[in-house]
Amino acid sequence: MPSITRDDVAHLAALARLSLTEDELEHYAGQLDVILAAVASISEVAADDIPPTTHAVPVVNVFRDDVVRPSLDREALLDQAPAAEDGRFRVPRILDEE
């Protein structure tokens, strides 16, 4: 099993949209190594021909009747939003300036 470096944690944090401090990067790198060592035993299990279980109770293609029902109230939802404007969620800019 590879060792987790500070740079690995920084990469993972970027993927997960988490801003971490230098201290956190170091701390988590050490801890992830310990956790991965603790879970590494599963790699000993010979399971090449074993199908994966994705879900405890196998249910597929569940349908219900397409009945028109009231939706959640827009005002109630916007009232709980960090920012709203003109009946919509207001979000920070999503495109670069250039």
Partner 1 sequence: MSVSGTEIITATAVEIAELIASKQVSAVEVAQAHLDRIAAIDPSVHAFLHVDADGALEQARAVDHATAAGQAVGPLAGVPLALKDVLVQTGVPTTCGSKVLEGWLPPYDSTVVQRLRAAGVVILGKTNMDEFAMGSSTENSAFGPTHNPWDLDRIPGGSSGGSAAAVAAYEAPLAIGTDTGGSIRQPAAVTGIVGAKPTYGAVSRYGLVAFSSSLDQAGPFARTVLDTALLHAAIAGHDPMDSTSIDAPVPDVVAAARRADVRGMRIGVVRELSGEGYEPGVQARFDEAVSLLRDAGAEVVEVSCPSFVYALGAYYLIAPSECSSNLARFDAMRYGLRVGDDGDASAEDVMRLTRAAGFGPEVKRRIILGTYALSSGYYDAYYGQAQKVRTLITRDFEAAWGSVDVLVSPTTPTEPFRIGERADDPVAMYKADLCTLPSSLYGGPAISVPAGLGDEGMPVGLQVMAPVMADERIYRVAAALEAALNDRWGGPLLQKAVSL
Question: Which residues bind to partner 1, rule: CB under 8 A?
Answer: 4, 8-9, 12-13, 15-20, 24, 28, 31-32, 34-36, 38-43, 45, 47, 50-57, 59, 62, 64, 72-73, 76-77, 79-83, 89, 91-94, 96
Q: Take residue 78 and report the two structure tokens written for it.
A: 């916007």
For partner 1, the closer of residues 43 and 86 by Cβ is 43
How many Å apart are CA 3 and CA 47, to the nearest integer? 24
How many Å apart are CA 82 and CA 20, to the nearest integer? 23
Asked if 28 and 12 count as a contact pair (C-beta separation under 8 A), the reply is no
Distance in Å, CB of 53 to partner 1, minimum: 4
